[in-house]
């Protein structure tokens, strides 16, 4: 524009018409000035095609599309969205989608339902593990009220998180068509809210539980033998076990590793207010899903062994006491240490109804 | 049935943000949400290039595939819409979307994002009444026989909206006119066909 206005006055006198007489003179000057502006523009463009070629924006090249595809955002990248930290094409989104929908989703289902199948088969073929010796009726104190409360709180939270998490991954394939949109909308919304608010609580309590159980779960040499004998399934006799046997320790360390990873990735997903990027959350989501589905599958094993799978186990976590016969069979090394502390059922009842202060510390190896 | 598509001709886009403004205006989108954005690469360099992006109403939409509530659906015109009553604001559609189209009014602790909002191709969404539809999703210009306002307002006609076939025809004419050897799109499997157009343009 500057170029054109600079040239215009030079051209005006050449046309000559601008010098007409009368009161129209001024109007005509203005008119011609405007007309000549238009002609000048055409003249310049036609006169210098090479110059036009040089200054024209080049066509978009393959390099630019390659740049888009790579997701690269350099210092000269602009996005008109006010707080956007996105690139033009989020190529990692497709990777995330494939990982989640093609791998995590089907294999998670196989893991969880596979575990249900294995446990059912195990129960039907091998059956419940009954106590080898008859109960003596004398009880050993195993879990304090605090530990039992902690266990059941974490367990309830775990089950809630597992069910809501499974609903978030698989619910739409089952419940939407089953219940209709109104109920499904409420159900999935409640799942998300429960999952997001209870998750952090679970994480904190899990850490507390892990810290309190650490000293009972230090791996020992006899744990290896425990695994070699499949926890007593393979070979004769029951392998040695302290307060916690090899299987319990494995579950402990799985929670202490994979569990913490699931909790940590959950925190990444749950607090978008810290502005973590899409890519970070994609990976956090995959890690969270893989870890959580794995833990859910293993937890089914833990639940089975702790309830219907083994006679005498559940009462440890409900009453806090176990029978001598159970302790001797499953935790022989612990039994040797605490056998002189065994009490009768009447004494247990007396303790429970009366002075609860003695219910604080379990008889554990120090 | 039509297959509605957007296409932004990056060689025409002048980064005026008219589409962004038109969209905000047409749909009365809530504060902080901008359904359409203009991205500029290599700003200020000779290779500068701008492109207007919003929901591209994908054939195989990743948002639909990953949504835990299954709140997305495709209209007969190939427009990807979603039901805000079902949306739980989990953010998965945002992780998956290639174009950064889904947006959330909030970004708070405990994954509180509010209901997702995105371009509707000016086709509204599921609602009981017109008022509710406008309030939740913005205008439904498609129901009135009009195309999205962003494309209609585009000053250079860089942003095209309409049936995929029509959009492709317009763009193909431009390509012929420009005489690009690869049809302006790199790695185009149709490059050899477009080369004919290139030669034709050169001769003329």
Residues in chain B: 204
- What's the distance, CA B32 to chain centroid? 19
Tell me the pLDDT band of B204, cut-offs 50, 70 and 90. very low
Residues from chain B that touch A70, judged by Cβ atoms under 8 A, are none
B190 or A249: which leads in pLDDT: A249
Average pLDDT over residues A344-351: 91
Cα separation, A363 vs A359, whole angstroms? 10
How many alpha carbons lie under 13 Å from residue A172 in its C-beta half-sphere? 17
pLDDT (0 to 100) of residue A149? 97
Q: Please provide the distance, in angstroms rounded to a whole number, between the alpha carbons at the two ends of chain A.
A: 90
Average pLDDT over residues A30-51: 58
A82 or A300: which leads in pLDDT: A300
Are A83 and B33 in contact by the 8 Å Cβ rule? The answer is no
Average pLDDT over residues A332-352: 92
Tell me the pLDDT band of B47, cut-offs 50, 70 and 90. confident
Is A21 exposed, middle or buried (CB count within 10 Å of its CB: 0-12, 13-18, 19+)? exposed
Residue B39 Cα, gap to closest chain A Cα (Å):
4
Residues from chain B that touch A270, judged by Cβ atoms under 8 A, are 109-111
Q: Helix/strand/coil (H, E, C) string of B59-83? A: CCCHHHHHCCCCCEEECCCCCEEEC
pLDDT (0 to 100) of residue A42? 52
Tell me the pLDDT band of B175, cut-offs 50, 70 and 90. confident
Q: Which of these, A164, A255, A257, A156, lies nearest to A206 by C-alpha position?
A: A255
pLDDT (0 to 100) of residue B38? 96
Q: Is A214 on the interface with B (CB under 8 A)?
A: no
Average pLDDT over residues A346-357: 78
pLDDT surpasses 60 at A327: yes
Q: Is A128 on the interface with B (CB under 8 A)?
A: no
What are A122-160's pLDDT values in tens digits? 999 999 999 989 999 999 999 999 999 999 999 999 999
What are B92-123's pLDDT values in tens digits? 999 999 999 999 999 999 999 999 999 999 99
- Count A/B contacts: CB-CB distance under 8 Å: 156
Q: Is B50 helix (H, G, I), strand (E, B) or coil?
A: strand
Supply B150's token pair.
């962003």
Task: Give me the residues of B, 41-100, that contact A with CB < 8 A.
Answer: 41-49, 51, 53, 62, 65-70, 83, 85-86, 88-92, 94-100
Cα separation, B144 vs B45, whole angstroms? 42
pLDDT (0 to 100) of residue A363? 54
- What's the distance, CA A165 to chain centroid? 9
Residue B170 Cα, gap to closest chain A Cα (Å):
18
Nearest to B65 among A63, A101, A281 (CB): A101
Q: Is A53 on the interface with B (CB under 8 A)?
A: no
Q: Which of these, B153, B148, B156, lies nearest to B14 by C-alpha position?
A: B156
Average pLDDT over residues A52-69: 75
Share of chain A above pLDDT 90, in %: 68
Are B27 and B139 in contact by the 8 Å Cβ rule? The answer is yes
Q: Helix/strand/coil (H, E, C) string of A302-328? A: HHHHHHHHECCCHHHHHCCEEEHHHHH
pLDDT surpasses 60 at B50: yes
Residue A300 Cα, gap to closest chain B Cα (Å):
24
């Amino acid at each position: 524009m500057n170029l054109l206005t600079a040239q215009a006055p030079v051209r005006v006198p050449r046309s000559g018409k601008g010098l007409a007489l009368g009161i129209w003179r001024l109007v005509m000057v203005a008119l011609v000035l405007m007309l000549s502006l238009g002609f000048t523009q055409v003249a310049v463009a036609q006169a210098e095609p090479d110059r036009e070629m040089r200054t024209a924006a080049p066509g978009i090249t393959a390099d630019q599309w390659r740049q888009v595809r790579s997701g690269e955002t350099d210092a000269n990248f602009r996005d008109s969205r006010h707080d956007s930290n996105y690139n033009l094409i989020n190529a990692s989104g497709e990777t995330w989608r494939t990982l989640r929908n093609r791998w995590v989703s089907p294999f998670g289902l196989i893991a969880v339902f596979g575990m249900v199948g294995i446990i059912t088969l195990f129960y039907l073929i091998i059956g419940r593990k009954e106590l080898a010796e008859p109960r003596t009726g004398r009880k050993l104190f195993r879990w304090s009220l605090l530990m039992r409360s902690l266990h059941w709180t974490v367990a309830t939270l775990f089950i809630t998180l597992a069910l809501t998490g499974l609903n978030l991954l698989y619910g739409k394939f089952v419940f939407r068509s089953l219940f209709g949109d109104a109920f499904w909308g409420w159900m999935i919304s409640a799942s998300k809210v429960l999952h997001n608010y209870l998750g952090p609580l679970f994480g904190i309590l899990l850490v507390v539980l892990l810290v309190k159980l650490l000293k009972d779960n230090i791996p020992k040499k006899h744990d290896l033998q425990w695994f070699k004998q499949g926890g007593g399934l393979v070979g004769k006799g029951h392998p040695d076990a302290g307060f916690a046997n090899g299987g319990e320790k494995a579950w402990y360390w799985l929670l202490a590793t994979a569990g913490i990873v699931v909790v940590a990735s959950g925190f990444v997903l749950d607090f978008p207010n810290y502005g973590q990027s899409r890519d970070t959350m994609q990976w956090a989501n995959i890690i969270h899903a893989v870890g959580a589905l794995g833990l859910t599958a293993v937890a089914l094993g833990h639940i089975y062994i702790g309830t219907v799978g083994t006679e005498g186990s559940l009462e440890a976590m409900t009453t806090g006491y176990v029978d001598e016969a159970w302790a001797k069979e499953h935790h022989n090394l612990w039994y040797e240490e605490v056998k002189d502390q065994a009490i009768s059922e009447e004494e247990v009842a007396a303790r429970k109804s009366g002075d609860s202060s003695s219910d604080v510390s379990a008889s554990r190896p120090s | 049935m039509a297959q509605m598509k957007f296409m932004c001709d990056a060689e025409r886009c002048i980064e005026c943000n008219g589409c962004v403004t038109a969209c905000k205006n047409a749909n009365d989108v809530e504060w902080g949400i901008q359904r359409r954005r203009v991205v500029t690469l290599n700003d200020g360099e000779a290779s500068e290039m701008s492109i207007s992006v919003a929901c591209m109403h994908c054939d195989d939409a990743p948002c639909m595939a990953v949504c835990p509530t299954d709140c997305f659906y495709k209209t007969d015109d190939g427009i990807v819409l979603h039901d805000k009553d079902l949306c739980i604001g989990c953010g998965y559609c945002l992780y998956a979307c290639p174009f950064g189209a889904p947006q959330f009014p909030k970004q708070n602790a405990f994954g509180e994002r509010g209901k997702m909002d995105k371009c509707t191709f000016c086709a509204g969404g599921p609602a009981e009444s017109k008022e509710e539809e406008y309030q939740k999703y913005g205008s439904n210009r498609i129901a009135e026989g009009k195309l999205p306002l962003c494309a209609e307002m585009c000053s250079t006609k860089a942003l095209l909206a309409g049936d995929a076939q029509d959009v492709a025809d317009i763009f193909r004419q431009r390509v012929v006119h420009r005489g690009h050897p690869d049809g302006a799109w790199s790695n185009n499997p149709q490059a050899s066909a477009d080369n004919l157009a290139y030669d034709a343009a050169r001769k003329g």
